[in-house]
């Protein structure tokens, strides 16, 4: 079985640009995650967490580049040829970046934004089925139905983050990347995030969570990779996941 995430001595750098010297933001990162597994990335400010999360999302236009080692996500190589494979893999990756809350819906209401995302991933669904899926997504993100006709600027920042989560869950991601999803937000966001992680893993998806928040990380059973100034410095095994109950 191919690993969902495979990193071997990966280094990532920001290229030189006018007025800014290039620099290596991350080096020597190795990791492997199979379907259903997860990892927490922790570390201080500037340790390289968001840089790694962004590269692994395969979103185009990242300012950073892989400058050493090798890596792949959902079978797509992180560097070199493989644009087609990266595009296919990207469609199966959910990525909730840090601080991008304002732009999540464009000029649409929550209902329209979620329905659009559901249709993108399931072109054959009829309107009632799309509506049902949207209602499920709201439930999964612990949002009330009353947010459906709101625009992003009419939501609290915690609600916006949960809408961002629902948008990423709409495609049933095989790999879900959450970058500091609870930082600075109201405590209602935490259970929505923790439940989403557990649900994605239970469905066979893989999760990368960037977080330093003890309450969130402690509520999960995931291993923790700690970075310090661009270098991995510690790895803590996760707690064993509870066995599934055996039905008689
Ligand atoms: N667009 C950029 N251009 C050049 N350097 C950058 C850019 N973005 C981040 N860096 C640098 O890369 C390094 C890692 O930054 P990164 O944002 O990945 O760290 P982080 O661990 O996510 O920090 P935080 O917890 O503050 O979000 C830092 O030295 C940072 O200054």
Residue with CA at minimum distance from ligand 1 atom 26: 45
- The parent domain of residue 187 ranges over 35-62+91-236
The count of other CB atoms within 10 Å of the CB of residue 119 is 15
pLDDT for 186 = 84
* CB 47 near ligand 1, within 6 Å: yes
Residue 162: which of 121, 113, 224 has the closest Cα?
Answer: 113
Mean pLDDT value of segment 211-239: 93
Domain count, the chain: 1
pLDDT band of 188, cuts 50, 70, 90: confident
Task: Tell me how far the alpha carbon of residue 197 is from its chain's centroid.
Answer: 10
Q: Is the CB of 211 under 6 A from ligand 1?
A: no
Residue ranges of E strands in 19-174:
23-33, 38-43, 65-73, 76-77, 93-96
Residue 151 Cα to ligand 1 midpoint, Å, equals 30
Residue 245 lies in a domain: no
Give the CB-side neighbour count of residue 245, counting CA atoms within 13 A.
2
Helix, strand, or coil (residue 34): coil
Does residue 21 form part of some domain? no
Residue 44 has what DSSP assignment?
Answer: S
CA 98 vs CA 88, 102, 179: distances in Å: 23, 11, 5
Estimate to the nearest angstrom the gap between the alpha carbon of 133 and the chain centroid. 20
Please give the C-alpha separations between residue 46 and each of 21, 25, 51, 178, 202, in angstroms, as whole numbers: 16, 8, 9, 17, 32
- Residues of the chain by 3-state class (helix, strand, coil), percent to 5: 35, 25, 40
14 lines ligand 1 (CB under 6 A): yes
For the chain, what is the mean pLDDT? 91
Which residue of 10, 14, 210 sits with most ligand 1 atoms within 8 Å of its CB, as the best mutation to test the pocket?
Answer: 14
Question: In whole angstroms, what is the distance from residue 178 CA to residue 59 CA?
Answer: 14
Q: Of 74, 106, 67, 113, nearest to 90 (Cα)?
A: 74
Q: Is 25 in the pocket of ligand 1 (CB under 6 A)?
A: yes
The alpha carbon of 128 and the centre of ligand 1 are apart by a number of angstroms equal to 43
Q: Is residue 3, in this structure, part of any structural domain at all?
A: no
Burial status of residue 211 (CB atoms within 10 A of its CB: 0-12, 13-18, 19 or more): buried
9 lies in a domain?
A: no
Residue 183 lies in a domain: yes
Q: Report yes or no on 16 lying in a domain.
A: no
Domain CATH for 57: 3.40.50.300
What percent of the chain clears pLDDT 70, i.e. is strictly above it? 94
Task: Say what angle helices 127-140 and 157-169 make with each other, to 10 degrees.
Answer: 130
Please state whether 69 falls in left (phi above 0), alpha (psi between -120 and 50) or beta: left
Please tell me the pTM assigned to this model: 0.93
**Å from CA of 170 to ligand 1 middle:** 29
**Which atom of ligand 1 approaches the CA of 210 most closely?**
22
State whether residue 76 is helix, strand or coil.
Answer: strand
Residue 69 lies in a domain: no
Task: List the residue whose alpha carbon is closest to atom 3 of ligand 1.
Answer: 14
Residue 2 banded pLDDT, cuts 50, 70, 90: confident
pLDDT for 19-68, tens place per residue?
777 789 999 999 999 999 999 999 999 999 999 999 999 998 888 999 99
> Do the domain assignments include residue 70?
no
**How confident is the model over 120-176, as pLDDT tens digits?**
999 999 999 999 999 999 999 999 999 999 998 899 989 999 999 999 999 999 999
pLDDT digits (tens, 9 = 90+) for 153-164: 899 989 999 999
For residue 47, the ligand 1 atom closest to its alpha carbon is: 21
């Amino acid at each position: 079985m191919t690993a969902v995430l495979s990193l071997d001595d990966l280094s990532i750098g920001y290229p030189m640009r006018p007025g800014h010297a290039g620099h290596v933001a991350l080096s020597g990162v190795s990791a492997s995650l199979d379907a259903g597994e997860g990892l927490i990335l922790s570390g201080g400010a500037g340790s390289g967490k968001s840089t790694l999360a962004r590269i692994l999302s395969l979103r185009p236009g990242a300012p950073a580049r892989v400058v050493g080692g090798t890596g792949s996500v959902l079978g797509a190589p992180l560097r070199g040829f493989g644009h087609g494979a990266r595009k296919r893999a990207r469609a199966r990756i959910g990525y909730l970046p840090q601080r991008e809350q304002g732009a999540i819906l464009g000029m649409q209401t929550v209902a329209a934004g979620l329905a659009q995302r559901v249709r993108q991933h399931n072109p054959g669904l009829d309107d009632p089925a799309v509506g049902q899926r949207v209602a499920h997504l709201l439930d999964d993100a612990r949002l009330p139905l009353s947010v459906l006709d709101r625009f992003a600027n009419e939501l609290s920042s915690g609600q916006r983050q949960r809408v961002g989560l629902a948008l990423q869950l709409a495609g049933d991601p095989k790999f879900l990347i959450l970058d500091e999803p609870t930082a600075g937000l109201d405590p209602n966001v935490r259970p929505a995030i923790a439940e989403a992680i557990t649900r994605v893993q239970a469905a066979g998806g893989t999760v990368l969570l960037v977080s330093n928040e003890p309450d969130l990380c402690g509520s999960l059973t995931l291993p923790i990779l700690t970075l310090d100034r661009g270098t991995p410095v510690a790895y803590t095994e996760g707690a064993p996941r509870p066995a599934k109950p055996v039905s008689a």
